[in-house]
Chains A and B, each alone.
Chain A
Amino acid sequence: MTNQTILQIEGLHVSFQTYNGEVKAVRGVDLHLDKGETLAIVGESGSGKSVTAQSIVRLIPSPPGVIKSGTIRFGERDLTQVPDQEMYKIRGSEIGMIFQDPMTSLNPTMTVGRQITEGLQWHHDFGKGEALQKAVEMLRLVGIPNPERRIHQYPHQYSGGMRQRAMIAIALACNPKILIADEPTTALDVTIQAQILDLMKELQQKMETAIILITHDLGVVAEMAQRVAVMYGGKVVETGRVDDIFHRSRHPYTWGLMDSMPRLDQKREDDLIPIPGSPPDLLDPPRGCPFADRCPHAMYICHEEMPAWTEVSDSHQVSCWLEHPDAPAADRDEPAARVNIR
């Protein structure tokens, strides 16, 4: 943990109690976030990326969700242990959040201004006028024209992109150190997506906020992030700098993700290559690597035991049996015959 690190997650386990049993959504996640950087968490639906992010501020619905074990260090504090009262003070003021669907994330019966000021008034002892002034300022900052008038309007008078801007204004109003953005552009038009991403980048530089960006869109990752954590089946399987992941990835799941993304230089006749199969059942997660069942390079050991972390470089770690000295060299484009390591 360098002195640049502001958030350090270690051994996080999160489960949901359901009628069918315990769904182990997050199974031992280690992550860290440095000051002012953007960390992207990528992975398909059900990989545990949203649950990981919401656990940081304990926003997982509870019950049924429970943080089973692990620590989340934020400054001096362990966020899994702080009392509720303290958590209310941290949420919104030190860690802000924006969500996927701006159409449903704003309260329809409250003016946008009120939704910004109520956080300000709760965290700082702002008077009404002062808070309103700050809210106007925030709306202007996120690029909403005519903020003095707009502030008194209701969410249904805003377009989708403007609502996401308003969400960003709410999340950043108290100048948080960390912004957790849970698929912030998934529900938006492509043109609006680009605007929102640009806005986030611009504000990040202005306010020196660190961003945890949850997405399954690798285009967004390339645009925004410095570092990437690839999640699968409730675990992080590979982490590295953006170029490590895009150009030197070592994990077959990351390869699969890359291959299933359309590219501009791709010939139109070439099909995208999807990853066959479906993610593991987290009610009864596999003993070994969660990706083994779908992995073209899987060996017997992959089904038996979770691989340890391999340091590919200072910035790049991967958790895969192919890194084992005895493993055969895997060709990314040419799945090897199944080899046995014992």
Chain B
Amino acid sequence: MARYIGQRLILLLVTLWLISTVTFVLMHSIPGDPFSSEKKLPEQTLRALEAKYNLDKPLPQQYVLYMKNLATGDLGISIKTPSRSVNEILSAGFPVSARLGLQAIVIASFAGVIMGMIAAIRQNRPTDYILMVVAVLGLSVPNFVLGPLMQKYLGLEWEIFPIASWGDGFGSEFQYTVLPSIALSFLPLALVTRLMRSSMLDVLGQDYIRTARAKGLPPLKVFSRHTLRNAIIPVVTILGPITINILTGSFVIEKIFSIPGIGKYFVDSISNRDYSVIMGVTIFYSALLVMMNFVVDLLYGLIDPRIKLGAKEGN
């Protein structure tokens, strides 16, 4: 097991290196540079600026320099807002995005599992139909439609929640987080609900459920010991992709609810060609995602004993 985790961590570093290299190359192949969009700068100033950010050196050399800094954990200084380093931007924005993302993941997984269970137990009855309509809405209504709708009704008309803004970092007051978390969780919630429903129905039809009933266990015990655990395995496997979905979805939600997370920088930095921020945010998100997939794999092995992590073939 320790050996497996070690191997995975090494692979993880290789993945991150590949991602940063590809991003570096792609980023520099976009036409223009951080200073080209503004009004013409004097030739000398431009030179000085380029020198400051090493942009005057040949690309391979820039790459080596960047990688050296990256290895020490230094992500560089934002070109557009030179007063802030990329590390500062991330450490200010990430707690906000993390809170939002975590809440959305919790809502999506817990509510999704429960709704899917109910739908399966009430299969082909009104409750099931209602839940499935909600799930289809969740899949088909984009969150940039749902977000403003909630702002209008829950925020402006009924004044239950604040329509936008955010308290302080990770520890923001709960009320500010409600609407954006729900908006962000809507699509993954629908995914989890549908998956849980079909997985439950599949498990309920399995022979081992009949065996459990033949032992005389009452329905509640059959459900909690035999059905739930087996039905939840597929849901755990999509937690990885769902995290990706929530992270990428948060760019839009952060914009709609004016939340000071990282999402804003991710979009703005690309249009501004703010090279160091593009690299920093991309690498940061990639690291988060590969870690998340790793955690999901570990969880998977924990829930399903048939999956032996790192076991040699034929063992």
In contact, A89 and B208 (Cβ under 8 angstroms): no
Q: Tell whether, in the assembled complex, residue A122 and residue B208 are in contact, meaning their CB atoms are under 8 Å apart.
A: no
- Closest approach, in angstroms, between the C-beta of B206 and any C-beta of chain A? 6
**Closest A residue by C-beta to B211:** A105
Interface size range of chain B in the complex: 20 to 34
CB of A154 within 8 A of CB of B216, answer no
Interface flag for A123 (CB, 8 Å): yes
A97 CB contacts on chain B under 8 angstroms? 211, 214
Given contacts A92-B214, A119-B215, A105 and B207 within 8 Å (CB-CB): yes
Q: Are B215 and A170 in contact (CB under 8 A)?
A: yes
Residues of chain B in range 25-70 having any CB-CB distance to chain A below 8 Å = none
Nearest chain A residue, comparing its CB with the CB of B210: A59
Instruction: For chain A, residues 95 to 117, give those with C-beta under 8 angstroms from any C-beta of chain B.
Output: 96-97, 99, 101, 104-111, 115
| Complex CA–CA separation, A111 to B225 (angstroms) | 12
Question: Interface code A76-105, partner B: CB below 8 Å = 1, 0 otherwise?
Answer: 000000001101111111001101010011
Bound Cα distance A115, B218 (Å): 15
Stretch touching chain A among B4-12, B148-156, B172-180, B299-307: B299-307
* Interface flags, B224-237, vs A, CB<8A=1, else 0: 01100110010000
- Let me know if B210 and A91 touch, CB within 8 A: no
A118 interfacial by beta-carbon distance below 8 Å: yes
A57 in the interface (beta carbon within 8 A) = yes
Contacts between chains A and B (CB distance < 8 A), count:
79
A106 touches B211 (CB 8 A): yes
CA distance A85 to B216 in the complex (A): 9
Quick one: which of A85, A101, A122, A156 contacts B215, CB cutoff 8 A?
A: A122
Q: Give the Cβ gap from A164 to chain B, nearest Cβ, in Å.
A: 12
Quick one: which of A88, A106, A109, A154 has the most chain B CB within 10 A? Answer: A109
Are A88 and B206 within 8 A (Cβ)?
no
Interface residue B221 (Cβ < 8 Å from any Cβ of A): yes
Interface digits, B185-216 against A, CB 8 Å rule (1 contact, 0 not)? 00000000000000000000011101111111
Is B13 located at the chain interface by the 8 A CB criterion? no
A167 interface hit (Cβ, 8 Å): yes
Could you say which of B208, B216, B303 contacts A92, with CB atoms under 8 Å apart? B216
Q: Is B217 interfacial (CB-CB < 8 Å)?
A: yes
Q: Residues of A within 8 Å of B, CB-based: how many?
A: 33
B208 close to A91 (CB less than 8 A): no
B91 CB to nearest A CB, Å: 41
Which of B206, B217, B218, B226 is the one whose CB lies under 8 Å from A110? B226
Known contacts: A109-B230, A109-B303, A109-B305. The answer to whether A118 contacts B214 by CB under 8 A is no
The minimal Cβ–Cβ distance linking B312 to chain A, given in whole angstroms, is 16
Among the interface residues B207, B211, B229, B233, which one has the most CB atoms of the partner chain A within 10 A?
Answer: B211
Contact in complex: A104, B217 (CB < 8 Å): no
Q: How far is the CB of A106 from chain B (nearest CB, A)?
A: 6
- Give complex CA distance A108, B303 in Å: 11
A171 to B215, CA, bound (A): 7
Q: Is B216 a contact of A91 with CB atoms below 8 Å?
A: yes
Contact of A154 among B213, B226, B305 (CB under 8 A): B305
Structural contact, A122 and B216, CB atoms closer than 8 A = yes
User: Least Cβ distance of B232 to chain A in Å?
Assistant: 10
Min CB gap A100→B, angstroms: 8
Kindly identify, within residues 104 to 151 of chain A, every residue whose CB is under 8 Å from any CB belonging to chain B: 104-111, 115, 118-119, 122-123
How far in angstroms is the closest Cβ of chain B from A62? Answer: 11
A91 touches B211 (CB 8 A): no
Q: How far is the CB of A124 from chain B (nearest CB, A)?
A: 11
Query: In the complex, how many angstroms separate the beta carbon of B146 from the nearest chain A beta carbon?
Result: 36
Q: Which residues of A contact B225 (CB under 8 A)?
A: 110, 118
B231 to chain A, nearest CB (A): 10
Residue among A85, A96, A108 with most chain B CB within 10 A: A108
Residues of B within 8 A of A167 (CB): 211
With beta carbons under 8 angstroms apart, the residue of A87, A88, A105, A171 that contacts B208 is: A105
A313–B124 Cα gap in the complex (Å)?
52
Residue of B nearest to A123 (CB): B216
By a CB distance below 8 angstroms, the chain A residues around B206 are 104
> How many Å from the CB of B221 to the closest CB on chain A?
7
Specify which of B207, B214, B226, B305 lies most central, judged by the most chain A CB atoms within 10 Å of its CB. Answer: B214
Q: Which of A89, A96, A104, A108 has a CB less than 8 Å from the CB of B214?
A: A96
B216 contacts A88, C-beta separation under 8 Å:
yes
B residues near A59, Cβ cutoff 8 Å: 210, 213-214
A92 to B211, CA, bound (A): 9
A104–B213 CB distance below 8 A: no
B213 near A101: Cβ-Cβ < 8 Å: no
Extra 16 A-B pairs, beta carbons < 8 Å, given A88-B218, A108-B305, A118-B225: A59-B210, A85-B218, A87-B216, A89-B216, A91-B213, A96-B214, A97-B211, A99-B207, A99-B211, A105-B207, A107-B211, A107-B212, A109-B233, A110-B225, A122-B215, A167-B211
By a beta-carbon cutoff of 8 Å, the part of chain A in contact with chain B is: 57, 59, 84-85, 87-93, 96-97, 99, 101, 104-111, 115, 118-119, 122-123, 154, 156, 167, 170-171
| 10 cross-chain pairs, A with B, having the tightest CB-CB distances, nearest first | A92-B216, A91-B216, A92-B215, A119-B215, A97-B214, A104-B207, A107-B208, A105-B207, A154-B305, A88-B216
- The chain B residues found within 8 Å of chain A, CB to CB, are 206-208, 210-218, 221, 225-226, 229-230, 233, 303-306
A-B pairs with beta carbons under 8 Å apart, 14 shown: A88-B216, A92-B215, A97-B214, A104-B208, A106-B211, A107-B230, A108-B230, A108-B305, A108-B306, A109-B230, A109-B304, A122-B221, A123-B216, A171-B214
